[in-house]
Structure 1
Amino acid sequence: MSDEALRNAKGANEIMTRCFRLFCCATGAMTALGAAGCGSLSRLAGSRSPSGLGANVRAPAAIGSFVASVDVKRGTITFRPDQAATAGKAHVAAQQFGPGDRLTLSGTASLSNGMLSGSVQFISSNAYPLNDARVIVTSISDTSVSVANADGTSNLTGTKQPFWDYLSLDPKVPSTKLWQFNNPGAINFTFRVTVFANVWTYSLGDANPNTAVSFPDPLHGWIVGVGGKVLCTTDGGTTWQAQNAGIGAGVQLDGVYFANQYNGWIVGTAGTIRHTGDGGRTWYAQTASTDISVDTLRSVRFINSATGWIVGDNGLILKTNDSGNTWTIQGSPRDAKLYSIDFADANNGWAVGEGGTILHTTNGGSSWSVQTVPDPSSPTGARLQDLLLGVTVRDTTHAWICGANGRILFTTTGLSWNLISTGVNAALNNIFFIDLNTGWTVGGSQIFKSTDGGVTWTPKTGGSGAGLFFIRFTDPSNGWAVGQSGAILHSTNGGETWLPRQQGLTMTYSGVDFPDRKHGWLVGDGGFIRATADGGQNWSFQPSGTSNPLAAVRFTDALNGWAVGQNGTILHTAAGGSTWNAQASGTTQDLLGVDFVDSSHGCVVGAAGTILCTTDGGTTWVQMLSPTANALTGVSMVTVDLIYAVGSTGTILYTIDASQGALASWSQQFQPYADNLTAIRMLDANTGWAVGANARILHTVDGGGIWDNQWYEPGSNGHTNTLYGADFE
């Protein structure tokens, strides 16, 4: 990869289906609709998971549906959960909503001259912001009534429907919009709405570049990157979790700094500044004293929780003395792009950038002076004009700079600079010294270490082979380097050796399959696929080519496999997952289960009763007539003709003539329990098991003529968890 490309890039193995309760309001009165029979609704958390810089953003996903009743005389709009509409959204991952999270819609209405106007408030108690929140009207009970003031129309529900746009919603902060309906007959009516939103802007573990890292102490650390990515660890990097900073997927974060485990700042493209005071659980936008929305901010540095600086395009230098509540521009003698800034104390600091720019201040940035370095290759002694990308400062006289062409600069006086070449041609993107003698720098896929104050540098072993953009050490032993393809490297011996920590990421995996004792695959959020060839001792990531969440995977042998997921996604590999290719499913419904009886004959099931079958390995998929609109979440093939499927509200279907394609008939089997069923495994035409919510286990020995509950009643012995898989040898 070229230096320019590098600069551009720099500059739980379970389904976590979680439920939330919808709270309904009428003229300000809030009533919980759980114990009263309205139940809890599973929902699909929308996400943005870009595959790279400038990637497309996936559309918001449904997170809940309501039925609204309008009483013209009383002037009320009463909302309650729409169970029928949300049934198709069971059995999907929802990491950002927990059992205590809820949505609230409430409203009042008045009629004047055939126009019904309602003030409708929307509140989310989710711990993370909702992005691109839309409330779409899916139906109205009377054809004489129509939406009068929609913000637009959307086909997220399958057909174009009017919607009101609530944009971004911060947690527990109400947002109110005016809803208007043409109601010439002044009648009472009902209407249905579906709420769509993106709950997080980054799907954990993707291959987008990581650009910067900050550890305020050995346990707490943060990584930022392309696509609004923010990762956090609280256990020294053993596990990493995604945080939602409310940033669009088109934003590249280039800088992060935490003064302690609570107070941190992140910066990036489009003038992005975010601050957290609670360790990243919530993030808030900060702005400068002038418009910086077109500027890229590349580096941030604080000397305490109050005083800090940011640098970016056009010589931009910002300073705050109040934790970022106000950012003021400092005068810069150069309009060059600035890539890095560091301070020794409240007064003494350096900033570096393109064209050999080195800026120095001794008064906290009230004034900045230009420092120059002679170019040794110039016969006239002209100043060095290399791109300078990183600076690290230990005290008022000792600082180090890295940049293009393997350049290293260091000063021991704070005034003049010594030029060192590491002997590599690649740009050195970042540099860090833990004391006056020991430091590290990264560039390309290499890591270099110095133990003599930067005079000499030695390459170190290990790593991922990816381009590295940033390096930091928490102490003389423990260090972190991050870079392209989501690379996270960790050293525990002072940077002598480095090991990838990518596998330590906390992800949600929703499907697993082992065709034999050695070969296995996991699929999950963000389109991630991991594979093992040694029985699970080691796992590697495989490129899926999609960012859609994957719900299930099935391999017929060590080479041939299929994975299915959101928005009708079907992927196929004939090479053990080294390459995955998309297959045309012919549907946009979420696909939740897959099974193959051989390399040709397979069946996929999903939301809204979707059933697809193939007889040619997935080259073509035929949609079958389904007797249910319930979500189907598990499927088991006994033969090419005999197939079973299970789903929400206890649904069990079967067919004995699947090879007839679209002409195949599916029938529903009776069982007395209404728990959502998530998986089924039939050993043969007679014997099988189905499992699901409330630890439900059903067993049949006659092909489903009778399904018996095994072991215990739901809730007994404390068993109320949902079971997501069943298999027998």
Structure 2
Amino acid sequence: FALDANIVYMGSTGGNIYRSTNGGNSWTAINTGSTSPIIYGIYFFDANTGFVTGASGYVKYTTNGGTSWNIPTVSVTATETRIFGRKSPDEIYLLGDVNNIYKSTDYGTSWTTIPYKYSQQTIGLATNTMDINGTVMVTGGVNGLLNASTNSGINWYGISKVLNSINIYDIEYHSGTGKVWAAGRGTTGISNAILFSSDRGITWRTQSTPAGADYRSISMADENTGWVVGQNAAVIKTTNGGENWTEVTNVPSPTQTLTRVHFVNANTGWIFGYSGGSNLFKTTNGGTSWITQNYGSTDNGARWASMLDASTGYYITYNVSGSRIFKTTSGGDNWAENFYPNPGNLWSIKMINANTGYICGDAGRLFRTTDGGNNWETVTPPGNNNYTTTDWYDINNGVLGAGSGYTARTTDGSQSWLIKNTGGSSVWNVEMTHPDTIWCVQNFGYIFKYTYGSSTGITEWKNEIPENYILKQNYPNPFNPTTTIEFGLKKAGAVSLKIYDITGRLIDVILNAMHFNAGFMKITYDGSKLSSGVYLYSLEIDNRIIDTKKMVLIK
């Protein structure tokens, strides 16, 4: 914690606190009499009055610059007690409790308890950070907790995700009404794993299901009728937009995990699953009855499927030694294998029309067909990543989702890509509802909707290979507040692009060891959070500095 440019405090393991009065050039130990094995938080209002927090509810404060320390009249039940403070008005907040935040406006003499769970949050999750702007409060914490209040903590709601302990695997968007459904796996005692938004993702709530399950796939035939399948042969159906979900029991002997459900209209749909050749089911009367079909393969069922219409569709087999592709033109009665180069682990297939489609998989595998699956050609993606999902709006506009938590979008049929880091974990599914609008779902309840109105923070990759590594001068230069940085890679590698001040102090990291294939990259950098001045930007490939250049920010 830095009180000003000279006075800086630092906590450590062992409960030790150190203070510097010369901007960090030298440090002096401060004895707090700590019994905490680690210090998690420090905040000082001035040179005399400050707080420290640590493990197991540890809180102490001083009013004489650390000469002596006292225990405040507040009890925090927390594994890791953290702190947030601000001035004008002088306020201190204690974080880490799974149910409450504790606030003091008189330097710890008295405390107010602020419950921060919202109505659909059924379990307490510990906060570890927060911020305040006027009456708006935002808290972040474990399992992706992200709650907000617009009235100083009186009422709370979830931001972007309503249930923080759901790993979300599939999403369904109804363009006519703006309704969105997401299905996944509940954890930490959470059983309901279907989320719903009626306002294009602005607000979310849970929908009650018959029993907790690891849901893997959702298909809405229209805004009212839909199906969800998952682990333990779970099949549920709604006829009122998810207000009620009922268990489906007339599917003939499904086993193990059901991986995909796909309805091409209100009557015709399929359920795909693991566990051999017979875990495939079809209905032609809206689920009144089902028949069993055969995959035509000895592999362990289907990982992913894409049905174009009532006759034509594809599926990818689940096989640890290498996935296979199968196609039907008879509505699933018969399946024939399609062959593709560089066999390996495949994750997702999307057929855009009867001729054109894409398949993605591990280790940078991306394949395209333009003749209905008879031939598949290798397409070079931005990096050698594990691509877990893909979706396409048309033959030009598509998106990839990666296990490393980023998306890659193309607007020219995979000739170039715009890369966006979601900041979350593995992307399990993406849906492109418009050439400029992408939804993606991830672990810990993350649902991202991104509208491409600006290229700020997005890396554009083109498959044009330079003879040598290149870092170009940014443009415009000077700039305010955005500038474009271009660089080229002669071969694949882990790329880092870092910003330093003129003294060599690291200021910002644009790319951090992100893997790219050989080619040219272009990224728009936003310097609005920086002060006017001269900065250095440095390109590193595989932890080796390639080049460094100057740029000037003038506000």
Q: TM-score range by the shorter chain?
A: 0.5 to 0.7
Matches within 5 A, 1:550-565: 554-556=500-502, 560-563=504-507
Secondary structure of the corresponding residue to residue 242 of structure 2: coil
Q: How much does 1:198 deviate?
A: 4.7
Q: Which of these residues, 113, 118, 126, is aligned with residue 168 of structure 1? A: 118
The residue that corresponds to 1:410 in the other structure is: 327
Does 1:85 find its partner at 2:91?
yes
What's the Cα RMSD here? 4.8
CA contact (8 A) 1:255 1:300 kept: yes
| Residues 517, 393 of structure 1: alpha-carbon distance in 2 compared, 3 angstrom cutoff | closer
Secondary structure of the corresponding residue to residue 161 of structure 2: coil
TM-score, structure 2 as length reference: 0.53
| Residues 543, 491 of structure 1: alpha-carbon distance in 2 compared, 3 angstrom cutoff | closer
Secondary structure of the corresponding residue to residue 480 of structure 1: strand
The residue that corresponds to 1:264 in the other structure is: 180
Letter in structure 2 aligned against 1:440: Y
Alpha-carbon distance between aligned partners in 1 of 2:326 and 2:193, rounded to the nearest angstrom: 30
| Residues 501, 474 of structure 1: alpha-carbon distance in 2 compared, 3 angstrom cutoff | same
Q: How much does 1:542 deviate?
A: 4.5
Secondary structure of the corresponding residue to residue 90 of structure 2: helix
Task: Write the deviation string for residues 136-173 of structure 1: whole angstroms up to 9, x where unpaired.
Answer: 15378998xx9xxxxxxxxxxxxxx78453412579xx
Task: Write the deviation string for residues 179-223 of structure 1: whole angstroms up to 9, x where unpaired.
Answer: xxxxxxxxxxxxxxx999755689xxxxxxxxxxxxxxxxxxxxx
Letter in structure 1 aligned against 2:395: P
Q: Which of these residues, 245, 249, 253, is aligned with residue 168 of structure 2? A: 253
Q: How much does 1:260 deviate?
A: 0.7
Does 1:490 find its partner at 2:409?
yes
Alpha-carbon distance between aligned partners in 1 of 2:81 and 2:308, rounded to the nearest angstrom: 47
Matches within 5 A, 1:653-664: none
More moved, 134-143 vs 416-425:
134-143
Alpha-carbon distance between aligned partners in 1 of 2:381 and 2:108, rounded to the nearest angstrom: 68
Matches within 5 A, 1:7-156: 83-85=89-91, 134-138=100-104
Task: Write the deviation string for residues 499-523 of structure 1: whole angstroms up to 9, x where unpaired.
Answer: 13327697999xxxxxx99589xxx
Alpha-carbon distance between aligned partners in 1 of 2:455 and 2:99, rounded to the nearest angstrom: 24
| Residues 317, 424 of structure 1: alpha-carbon distance in 2 compared, 3 angstrom cutoff | farther
Secondary structure of the corresponding residue to residue 314 of structure 1: helix
The residue that corresponds to 1:303 in the other structure is: 221
The residue that corresponds to 1:396 in the other structure is: 310
| Residues 139, 346 of structure 1: alpha-carbon distance in 2 compared, 3 angstrom cutoff | same
Alpha-carbon distance between aligned partners in 1 of 2:334 and 2:396, rounded to the nearest angstrom: 30
Matches within 5 A, 1:529-608: 536-537=485-486, 542=496, 554-556=500-502, 560-563=504-507
CA contact (8 A) 2:531 2:553 kept: no
Matches within 5 A, 1:488-527: 488-495=407-414, 497-502=415-420
Alpha-carbon distance between aligned partners in 1 of 2:84 and 2:299, rounded to the nearest angstrom: 53
Task: Write the deviation string for residues 376-430 of structure 1: whole angstroms up to 9, x where unpaired.
Answer: xxxxxxxx23242111112222121113323111111121211233244322211
| Residues 501, 287 of structure 1: alpha-carbon distance in 2 compared, 3 angstrom cutoff | same
| Residues 462, 681 of structure 1: alpha-carbon distance in 2 compared, 3 angstrom cutoff | closer
Q: Which of these residues, 313, 331, 337, is aligned with residue 257 of structure 2? A: 337
| Residues 679, 441 of structure 1: alpha-carbon distance in 2 compared, 3 angstrom cutoff | closer
Task: Write the deviation string for residues 478-534 of structure 1: whole angstroms up to 9, x where unpaired.
Answer: 222211223322233444x3413327697999xxxxxx99589xxxxxxxxxxx9x9
More strand by share: 2
CA contact (8 A) 1:464 1:487 kept: no
Secondary structure of the corresponding residue to residue 466 of structure 1: coil
CA contact (8 A) 1:406 1:425 kept: yes
More helix by share: 1
Secondary structure of the corresponding residue to residue 400 of structure 1: strand
The residue that corresponds to 1:364 in the other structure is: 286
CA contact (8 A) 2:91 2:103 kept: no
CA contact (8 A) 1:60 1:196 kept: no
Alpha-carbon distance between aligned partners in 1 of 2:226 and 2:108, rounded to the nearest angstrom: 59
Q: Which of these residues, 205, 209, 213, is aligned with residue 284 of structure 1? A: 205
CA contact (8 A) 1:227 1:253 kept: no
Q: Which of these residues, 295, 316, 327, is aligned with residue 245 of structure 2? A: 327
| Residues 578, 452 of structure 1: alpha-carbon distance in 2 compared, 3 angstrom cutoff | closer
Letter in structure 2 aligned against 1:284: R
CA contact (8 A) 1:429 1:469 kept: yes
The residue that corresponds to 2:271 in the other structure is: 351
Task: Write the deviation string for residues 12-59 of structure 1: whole angstroms up to 9, x where unpaired.
Answer: xxxxxxxxxxxxxxxxxxxxxxxxxxxxxxxxxxxxxxxxxxxxx998
The residue that corresponds to 1:244 in the other structure is: 160
| Residues 502, 354 of structure 1: alpha-carbon distance in 2 compared, 3 angstrom cutoff | same
Q: How much does 1:554 deviate?
A: 4.9
The residue that corresponds to 1:100 in the other structure is: none
| Residues 681, 372 of structure 1: alpha-carbon distance in 2 compared, 3 angstrom cutoff | closer
Alpha-carbon distance between aligned partners in 2 of 1:279 and 1:58, rounded to the nearest angstrom: 36
Letter in structure 2 aligned against 1:362: T
The residue that corresponds to 2:537 in the other structure is: none
The unaligned stretches of length 5 or more in structure 1 are: 1-56, 66-81, 90-130, 147-160, 172-193, 203-225, 230-241, 376-383, 510-515, 521-531, 545-552, 565-572, 580-633, 635-677, 683-725
Alpha-carbon distance between aligned partners in 2 of 1:265 and 1:398, rounded to the nearest angstrom: 26
Secondary structure of the corresponding residue to residue 404 of structure 2: helix
Letter in structure 2 aligned against 1:257: E
Q: How much does 1:432 deviate?
A: 1.5
Q: How much does 1:276 deviate?
A: 1.0
The residue that corresponds to 1:45 in the other structure is: none
The residue that corresponds to 2:41 in the other structure is: none
Secondary structure of the corresponding residue to residue 536 of structure 1: strand
Letter in structure 2 aligned against 1:555: D
The residue that corresponds to 1:275 in the other structure is: 196
Alpha-carbon distance between aligned partners in 1 of 2:554 and 2:248, rounded to the nearest angstrom: 68
Letter in structure 1 aligned against 2:505: G
Alpha-carbon distance between aligned partners in 2 of 1:727 and 1:483, rounded to the nearest angstrom: 33
Counting matched residue pairs gives: 352
Q: How much does 1:337 deviate?
A: 0.9
CA contact (8 A) 1:318 1:330 kept: yes
Alpha-carbon distance between aligned partners in 2 of 1:264 and 1:279, rounded to the nearest angstrom: 6
The residue that corresponds to 2:295 in the other structure is: 373
Equivalent pairs: percent with the same residue?
20
The residue that corresponds to 1:6 in the other structure is: none
CA contact (8 A) 1:477 1:492 kept: yes
Q: How much does 1:555 deviate?
A: 3.0
Q: Which of these residues, 434, 453, 458, is aligned with residue 372 of structure 2? A: 453
Alpha-carbon distance between aligned partners in 1 of 2:269 and 2:307, rounded to the nearest angstrom: 7
Alpha-carbon distance between aligned partners in 2 of 1:562 and 1:341, rounded to the nearest angstrom: 49
Q: How much does 1:680 deviate?
A: 9.3
CA contact (8 A) 2:296 2:334 kept: no
CA contact (8 A) 1:461 1:498 kept: no
Q: How much does 1:342 deviate?
A: 1.0
Letter in structure 1 aligned against 2:267: N
Q: How much does 1:132 deviate?
A: 6.4
